[in-house]
């Protein structure tokens, strides 16, 4: 007798480990991976788990299907919200994206299609972004009578500057990956059929780097982006000094002097 079909809906977020790289996938391809409340919560949990897993050194974030990274927030869910519920939804998304931004391990957005609205905001909170040449990015909330609510006005301003942010938000028209690269919104653009291979190549390179040094760099850059230069420099010096207490620093400098490839343990 065959088993009865399950009524349990598929998880909105899936995870797969490829060595020391954890791939987190927004898994709503029928909705172009739109971000509803359940998906935001599932992403937050997935990044908490990745941060806590000693075997995971790098995270790659992408969307299921061939069309979209994340096409935006879930408009059907937003349509009936009250002002208070709308603010709560914004805060929910911001908390999740702040969690990604403050990850102690590098997070790479693999932008495989549309990254619009909440999808562009999700890509921007990652540490690095690699986009397929067919990808489209934008903040089209103006066309819905809305503004970006998951940090888009703030992160886009820091990545692309005031003029580009004003144009992208006020006009609401998407841009192609090449233009996003010119503006500093994405780090690299590659052919669509090479996107996964190129992203994993970078992820594996980072996975072989010194984990504590990576974390120290992420911390310094996060702190420096939100404070004055004197405070940022002081924090950098403190983090630099801490590296001298690590086995990885001894291994890295020793390997350099011995002309061999270092093997970092994360200790």
pLDDT per position as a tens digit, 149-184: 999 999 999 999 999 999 999 999 999 999 999 999
Quick one: which of 204, 78, 193, 83 has its CA closest to 141? 78
Q: Say which residues have a Cβ less than 8 Å from residue 241's Cβ, sequence separation at least 6.
A: none
- Classify strands 128-132 and 107-111 as parallel, antiparallel or unpaired: parallel
CATH class for the domain made up of 211-257: mainly alpha
pLDDT at position 6 over 90? no
Provide mean pLDDT across the span 84-103. 96
**Which residue is catalytic, options 45, 77, 141, 234?**
141
Told to judge if 121 belongs to the known catalytic residues of this protein, a careful annotator would answer yes
Residue 2: pLDDT band with limits 50, 70, 90: very low
C-beta neighbour count of 198 within 10 angstroms: 16
Element (H, E) at 154: helix 152-160
DSSP string, 80-147: T--HHHHHHHHHHHHHHHHHHHT-SS-EEEEE-SEEETHHHHHHHHSSEEEEETT-EEE--GGGGT--
Confirm if 97 and 74 have CB atoms less than 8 A apart. no
pLDDT at position 84: 97
Question: What is the spatial distance between Cα 21 and Cα 17, in angstroms, rounded to a whole number?
Answer: 6
Told to judge if 141 belongs to the known catalytic residues of this protein, a careful annotator would answer yes
Q: What is the DSSP letter of 20?
A: T
Task: In the chain, list all ranges with CATH 3.90.226.10.
Answer: 13-207
Task: In the chain, list all ranges with CATH 1.10.12.10.
Answer: 211-257
> Can you identify the CATH homologous superfamily of domain 13-207?
2-enoyl-CoA Hydratase; Chain A, domain 1 (3.90.226.10)
pLDDT per position as a tens digit, 11-65: 999 999 999 999 999 999 999 999 999 999 999 999 999 999 999 999 999 999 9
**Which residue is catalytic, options 45, 77, 101, 121?**
121
């Amino acid at each position: 007798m065959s088993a009865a079909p399950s009524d349990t809906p598929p998880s909105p977020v899936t995870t797969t480990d490829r060595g020391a790289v954890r791939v987190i996938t927004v898994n709503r391809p029928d909705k172009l991976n739109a971000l509803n409340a359940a998906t935001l919560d599932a992403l937050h949990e997935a990044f908490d788990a990745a941060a806590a897993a000693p075997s995971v050194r790098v995270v790659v974030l992408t969307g299921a299907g061939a069309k979209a990274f994340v096409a935006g927030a879930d408009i059907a869910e937003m349509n009936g919200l009250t002002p208070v519920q709308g603010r709560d939804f914004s805060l929910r998304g911001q908390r999740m994206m702040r969690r990604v931004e403050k990850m102690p391990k590098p997070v790479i957005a693999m932008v495989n299609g549309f990254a619009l609205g909440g999808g562009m905001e999700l890509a921007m909170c990652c540490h690095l972004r690699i986009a397929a040449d067919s990808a489209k990015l934008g903040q089209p909330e103006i066309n819905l009578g809305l503004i970006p609510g998951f940090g888009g006005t703030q992160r886009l301003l820091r990545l692309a500057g005031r003029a580009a942010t004003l144009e992208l938000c006020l006009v609401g028209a998407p841009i192609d990956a090449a233009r996003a690269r010119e503006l500093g919104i994405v780090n690299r653009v590659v052919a669509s059929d090479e996107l996964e291979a190129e992203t994993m190549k970078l992820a594996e390179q980072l996975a072989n780097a010194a984990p504590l040094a990576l974390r120290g760099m992420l911390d310094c850059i996060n702190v420096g982006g939100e404070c004055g230069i004197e405070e940022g420099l002081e924090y950098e010096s403190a983090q630099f000094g801490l590296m001298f207490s690590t086995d990885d620093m001894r291994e890295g400098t020793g390997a350099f002097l011995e002309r061999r490839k270092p093997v970092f343990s994360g200790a």
